Amino acid sequence: MRSIYRVRGGCTLCAMCYYVCPTKAISLKPNVTAVIDAEKCIGCGQCADNCQAEAIVRVERKTDIH
Ligand code: SF4
Ligand code: SF4
């Protein structure tokens, strides 16, 4: 099963995930949070590893359809 990553609460819009994502799957919504495009995410985990707010979590694609 393929895993993807999602942004939950706590995002401070620091943009670190945006810069480290190799597939440009992340966009930043001003005054909201970072948003991950599930279709572009390859599940590498770089964003979660670099998020100091621990705002990014891994989810299983099967149980989380967009
Ligand atoms: S690295 Fe974390 S806190 Fe920073 S923009 Fe991404 S999700 Fe938000
Ligand atoms: S897991 Fe990798 S590909 Fe997916 S959003 Fe994070 S950095 Fe990008």
Residue 44: both structure tokens together? 């590498």
Does ligand 1 come within 6 angstroms of the Cβ of 23? no
Tell me if 34 CB under 6 Å of ligand 1: yes
CA dist 40 and 24 (Å) reads 7
The total number of structural domains that make up the chain = 1
Residue 44, ligand 2, Cβ within 6 A: yes
Contact 36, 6 (CB under 8 A): yes
pLDDT digits (tens, 9 = 90+) for 36-49: 999 999 999 999 99
Whether the pLDDT of residue 66 is over 60: the answer is no
Q: What is the pLDDT of residue 3?
A: 72
pTM: 0.87
CATH of the domain at 18: 3.30.70.20
Distance CA 3, CA 32 (A): 24
| pLDDT for res 9 | 85
Give the count of alpha carbons within 13 A of 6, CB side only. 10
Ligand 1 lined by 14 (C-beta under 6 Å): yes
pLDDT tens digits, residue range 15-40?
Answer: 999 999 999 999 999 889 999 999 99
* Domain range enclosing 35: 3-63
Q: How far is the CA of 42 from the centre of ligand 2 (A)?
A: 6
